[in-house]
Chains A and B, each alone.
Chain A
Amino acid sequence: MTAISVENIRKEFALSNGGSPSYGTVKDLFAGTWKRGTEKRKFVALDDVSFDVAAGQAMGLIGNNGAGKSTLLRIISRILRPTSGRVCLEGRVASLLEVGAGFHPELTGRENVFLSGSMMGMKRGEIVKKMDQITGFAAIGSFFDQPVRFYSTGMYMRLAFSVAAHIETEILLLDEVLAVGDAAFQQQCIERVLEVGRNGQSVILVSHNMTTMVRLCSSALLLDGGQVSYLGSASEAAARYLKIAEARQGERCYSEVESAPQDRVVRLRSLRIRSREGATLATVSIGDEFGVEVEFEVLEAGTALMPSVIIRNEWSAVLWTTDTSSEWHGRPRPVGCYKCVAWIPAHLLSAGSMRVSAAIHSFHPWTVHLEANDIVLFHALECPGGARGQFAGNIDGGVRPLLDWSVELDP
């Protein structure tokens, strides 16, 4: 029996010229500058996506950032309406797109369980019946009757996941939530998802962790640029996904003008990780200096553009945001191609895989000309020495700078 049937879903978002969602103002209405449908750029987030999920099946949903995974989950859970196509569902849906949606910091854990549960469509009686299971799973003990603002992040996450995991709906949608909490709790969550499948519930799971995805799901859908790139066995989908991800390591060039992130004023040409000598790098030793190079083309003169690069680590934490060329700060830019490089000093990063985003803004008024998230991946590799010294174990922290220590001994 089919529990979820998605038929030819297409979703367009209207963008204003700045690239942000467009909306009118009363001022426009009176000033006669009110535009409806004209001059709006359209962004196609999903294009002709179809698939079925049978009852009791778990399907993985994978793809790069911006491939349309979240949009698809939002459409299935009715948060967004498709532009065309339709979704047929057999049974109730619970979606966990963000941990703790609907939680209020001033309310106690118990009050929040009622609020969050009822937001997902549970009746009061059902929540009361499940309360023991929820508290047992979350394991937060006496904090349960304290306002959640006193909770640690871990406790908050555990409680939030626990509510969602105990909803008895026929369909469960999960987005990246398995990445919360410590290893033991993650294991508990995985068990829970497996159990959900055994109870005849259907699950759609968005994950970047291919190992977990293949373990939990029998089939998977690989999205690329809003289109179905592969629909079939989970392991094959994972293999193809990793291949796509591989291709973008170290460099991203927009050779086709139409697909480049851009607006009226500026267009992104490329973003890459490079050495002083000019070679593109997919891996960087944390003991070496490297550069993040942004190339863009100014199409319309006169705007003081501020390009920036954002580096995220594998936990999606922003390591830093940087303005790449401060000598141009506040100076209107003439038309032309610009290549600017931010040099990242040696011994700053911690080891791991990094994702780089580029954005171009201007001030007065604050305008987002373009934003391209996580378009380049690279790996920062351990190097002997540096801030690690002789230590061989795991070192916590988003960055690992080599600092100057001064030591005074008072014998």
Chain B
Amino acid sequence: MRVFDATGTPLIEELAEYRQYVDLFRFLALRDIRLRYRQTLLGVAWAIVQPLLPMLIFTVIFSRFLRPETGGVPYPLFIFTGLTLWTFVASSILAGSTAFISNFSLLNKVYFPRAILPTATVAVCAFDGLIAGAVVMVVTCFCGYLPTARWLLLPAIALWLVVLATAATLLAASLTVAFRDMKNVIPFLVQIWMYSTPVLYPANLIPMPLRFLAGANPMTGPLEAFRACLLHTAPDWRVIAESGLSLFVVILAAVSVYRFEEAHLAERA
């Protein structure tokens, strides 16, 4: 016997319910991947072009005028690693923030655990991200940065990124339901986030009074660790640990905002 009332399902029960809907998640993700690659001319190449284009632009701008100190790593390689990870998180948020409002007719017609919609878009972006990540690994090896034991950390970094992208996308999608003009605000927030994240520069380049920002940013951890793996840079383990704590804050925020908005998704989305 299942009971539904004004308070909704307890979190534990809702989580258990996702097992029932694993197939739906897979079909939604596969649908979008299939549709995407059926329609785009570039196909799989699109996954690599996405971080590659900004890399070229930023390389020209930054290496001409700013020349950040990257610990001996060639600057294009440095930002290519950063932009690859960043592209995955940013494109998840941008694509997934409208997951609820653009699927209103669906939310209003069928019941399924709602968070499946934004998480399925994350899966699509993760597919692109995997391709781009593999290319980055090949490129760094080709440039002489051969695999070390640190590569064993890569699955953990990937997991961190997927969790972060999922939480941030869920948060963005729920806020877009609460505030209708949020979808115009989110691209700006993502931009601001990018420039305050050590994507284009190393974390130790942040001036000391602002250094706490690196730890407060859940994106710093995977970036620093990824470069430590692929480019043999010296990681700042403390910043990475702090960044891991901020990840939990983001997860908490995402789950609570989503659980709050979930109650009236089909009315307001």
Q: A residues within 8 Å of B by Cβ?
A: 13, 21, 23-27, 29, 74-75, 77-90, 93, 95, 97-98, 101-102, 104, 106-107, 111, 114-115, 118-124
Contact = CB atoms under 8 A, between A and B. Distances in A.
A75 B6 CA distance: 10
A106 B20 CA distance: 26
A90 B177 CA distance: 32
Interface in B19-43: 20-21, 23-24, 26-28, 31, 34-35, 38-39
B182 interface: yes
Nearest to B108: A79
Contact of B179 (A29, A86, A97, A104): A29
Nearest to A78: B111
B24 A119 contact: yes
B251 interface: no
Nearest to B4: A87
Interface in B96-148: 105-112
B8 interface: yes
Given A80-B267, A85-B5, A106-B35, A23 B179 contact: yes
Given A82-B6, A101-B106, A77 B111 contact: yes
B110 A102 contact: yes
Contacts of A90: 1-2
A84 B109 contact: no
A150 to B, nearest CB: 15
B179 A111 contact: no
B110 A79 contact: yes
B267 A27 contact: no
A81 B6 contact: yes
Interface residues of B, number: 39
Nearest to A77: B111
Contacts of B27: 111, 114-115, 118
A75 B266 CA distance: 11
A80 B23 contact: no
Given A79-B266, A88-B2, A121-B20, A115 B179 contact: no
B13 interface: no
B23 A23 contact: no
A13 B108 CA distance: 14
A324 to B, nearest CB: 30
A122 B26 CA distance: 13
Contacts of A93: 111
Contacts of A95: 110-111
B24 A118 contact: yes
A84 B6 contact: yes
B101 to A, nearest CB: 10
